[in-house]
Amino acid sequence: MSINLNKGLNNNEQNNSIANFVLTAEKTRYAETGTYAEVESYCQKMASNFPNVVSCQTLGRTSEGRKIQYMVLSKQGIHASKNSIKKKTPVVLIIAGTHAGEVDGKDASLLYFRELITSKKQDNPLNHLTVIWVPVFNVDGHEHRGRFHRPNQNGPYEQGERVNGRRINLARDWMFAQSTEMKGMLGLVKAWDPSVVVDLHVTDGLRYRHDVSISAAPDFGGDYQLTEVARSLLDEVLQNLKQSGHTPLGFYPRLKDKEDPKAGMVLDVDKPRFAHSYAAIRNRIGFLVEDHAWEPYASRTKTCFDTLNSILKTIVLHSNQILQTETFADHEASKLAGRYYALDYETDIDSEVPPKRIELLGYKYQILDPAPIIGGRFVSYDLTQEELWQIPFYDQVAPLKETITTLPRGGYLIPTAWTEVVKPYLDLHGIKYKTLQSTTQHVELHAYHVDPSTVDYDSSSFQGRQRVAMQGEWQPQTGTLQKNSIFVPIDQPKALLAVHLLEPMGPDSLSAWGLFNTAYEINDYMANHRSLEVIRWMYEENPKIKALYGEDLYKKLPQIRKDYEQLLSNDAGFRLDTNARLDFWISRLPPQDPSLNIYPIKRVEKLNQKALVFFSAN
């Protein structure tokens, strides 16, 4: 299987009608890429000529109303998800054009699958796999074409935009799913449950001589057997590409110092918001493919073509192992109750383990400090002089301590007031839950109490949202489950996905995306004059405190005053801080806003079996 960059595919088995379907990229010798109308025409023609192999379908519409075409490809005639599940055929989801300026994946996959659809060779991956193929995910961005959208990319002449019509970056929308495009994509994922997701992109910035980088997930934090399989598949794909004359990297290239490549590379720790990482928390395998933007467009298309071929053929060779391991991972995910789990990780640059030394194909460069004209520190590459970089690679990954938690033994409770907010996300992601049909009392719960001093709202928006971070702790309580509350059990295959959505410390939790910000906002207060009045009564042990706040607080007033005077005597900072002194007294009062800084979702540790009769499943 090969691609001729001047004449299109070298495939004598194609029938004439399909062989005559020449892409704009081929016609222009990869100077240009076609419009989305070319994709739609391709989809319809392939489905018309090869109805037993190709099904042309629509996963939804864009924010501007355009249809998003996808194709189901199978030499076994599988065009409905239930048939694939019944036959246990591995399903591979291939997504191109998420960033619509990065169109290598679109043209490469149009060429590649044109060959597979028409080929009768025994080693055709479509004989053994069902491929769900989205040639362009961000259709609005694809049609917003311009010459200057990708200043760090070598062609084609015009490219699409990075974001969709609402200026949402679809590549970061897999968890929060606020775009219409992603809602359609998650419906596709829920219906087909792909074993492997391949996300096609183009990197930029760094000047080196490697033509593609490929990352595989899970890499950390997922099922250990699935992680081993993903790494093994990646190693095999990389080896195949090397034998084909390519220079792949097995990680995303991120510089420790962006102005000095020899300072080393740092392993990227991707969040669940990305396609390949999202696949991992669904107990599936994800590949992120990044062609190198500085390569000519013709070369990049060939690289992507060969990468797709290597990935699919590797999946075929190990399809049984992939399916068995993912089934095992689903089973293991259902047993996470009560276990320790880290919601987020970071590359430990200061690890006691010294970094690896790796070789990268680079260029000679110069660090300019100060740089001419503008000053500052910048790097300048000399593309006429190749150089081998021997550099450190920091790949030691450690969990973020503040995100390590003990998972609930029962699951999560979404109170009635919040079900309208949370339920759509459970449905979108295919998470199982039950709805309480009757009020149940005296249930053992845990509530997350947020430390108000740690609540930190982002100063600028991200994806159009004001994200929030905070810290706190889960505390036990006995509560009431109201009718129409939602219970999300932890014992389900998608437990990791549920955990990442519902645990407040998750980097892509609903809370982190700002969905629960009202829980952390002060909406009532005590006027200063009233505060002073109450504090004086407390300090003087005035019986009015007993009348207002009860006997228990009144009895504590002598000790509170003693503690206060000790602080005054021993802590100069406290003595000079009027607000701290005021807070000392007011914090001893019963909460005037009892739900403030209480995370809305509760944990359920134990659930009386008799209560289960009140639940109906989704």
The answer to whether the bond into 248 is cis (omega within 30° of 0) is no
Task: Say yes or no: 146 and 209 in one domain.
Answer: yes
Same domain, yes or no, for 366 and 407?
Answer: no
Q: Evaluate if residue 9 carries a pLDDT over 50.
A: no
Give the per-residue pLDDT at 11: 42
Q: Which two tokens stand for residue 130?
A: 């069902």
| Residue 337, in any domain of the structure | no
Q: Is the domain of 466 the same as that of 563? A: no
Q: How far apart are CA 232 and CA 251, in angstroms?
A: 14
Q: Work out the average pLDDT over 533-544.
A: 94
Mean pLDDT over 230-237 rounds to 98
In a domain, 273, yes or no: yes
Residues 227 and 276 in one domain: yes
Considering the domain architecture, whether residues 129 and 271 belong to the same structural domain is answered as yes
pLDDT band of 21, cuts 50, 70, 90: confident
What pLDDT shows up at residue 165?
Answer: 96
Name the 3-class secondary structure at 214: strand
Per-residue pLDDT averaged across 210-227, rounded? 94
Do residues 563 and 493 share a domain? no
**Burial of 453: CB neighbours in 10 Å, binned 0-12, 13-18, 19+:** exposed
Task: Give the pLDDT of residue 87.
Answer: 64
Within this chain, do residues 52 and 24 fall inside the same structural domain, yes or no?
Answer: yes
Among 87-101, 284-298, 439-453, the range of highest mean pLDDT: 284-298
What is the per-residue pLDDT for 439? 87
* In the predicted structure, residue 410 carries a pLDDT above the cut 80: yes
DSSP state of 294: T
- Mean local confidence (pLDDT), 278-297: 97
Q: Average pLDDT in the 57-62 region?
A: 96
Looking at the fold, whether 579 and 538 belong to one and the same domain comes out as yes
Q: Which residues pair with 391 in a beta bridge?
A: 358
pLDDT of res. 7: 46
Instruction: Report yes or no on 419 lying in a domain.
Output: yes
pLDDT of residue 437: 87
Q: Write down the pTM of the prediction.
A: 0.91
Lowest mean pLDDT among 181-190, 283-292, 602-611: 602-611
Tokens 């093994």 -> residue: 232
Q: What is the rounded average pLDDT of the residues 95-115?
A: 97
pLDDT reported for residue 577: 94
| pLDDT at res. 305 | 98
The number of domains in the chain is 4
In a shared domain, residues 465 and 572: no
Domain that includes residue 561, residue range: 528-586
* 535 shares its domain with 446: no
Q: Please check whether residue 444 lies inside any domain of the structure.
A: yes
CATH number at residue 303: 3.40.630.10
Average pLDDT over all residues of the chain? 92
Q: Which residues pair with 200 in a beta bridge?
A: 289
**What local confidence, expressed as pLDDT, does residue 4 receive?**
61
Q: Does residue 591 sit within a domain?
A: no
Model confidence at 46, in pLDDT bands (50, 70, 90)? very high
At 10 the pLDDT is 43
In this structure, is residue 496 part of a structural domain? yes
Query: Does a structural domain hold residue 7?
Result: yes
How far from 67 is each of 33, 139, 277, CA to CA, in Å?
A: 19, 8, 26
What is the H or E stretch that residue 314 is in? Answer: helix 297-317
User: Which residues are paired to 398 by β-bridges?
Assistant: 346
Beta-strand pair 91-95/67-73 = unpaired
- Predicted confidence band of residue 204 (pLDDT cuts 50, 70, 90): confident
How far is 124 from 111, CA to CA, in rounded Å? 15
Q: What is the pLDDT of residues 106-165, one digit of tens each?
A: 999 999 999 999 999 999 999 999 999 999 999 999 999 999 999 999 999 999 999 999
pLDDT at 610: 53
Lowest mean pLDDT among 187-201, 257-271, 432-446: 432-446
In a domain, 339, yes or no: no
Same domain as 323, residue 443:
no
Q: What percent of the chain clears pLDDT 90, i.e. is strictly above it? A: 84
Q: Say what the pLDDT of residue 84 is.
A: 67
Region 472-496: what's the mean pLDDT? 93
What value does the mean pLDDT take over residues 332-353?
94
Report helix, strand or coil for 286: strand
* 23 and 69 together in one domain: yes
Q: Confidence class of residue 607 from pLDDT cuts 50, 70 and 90?
A: low
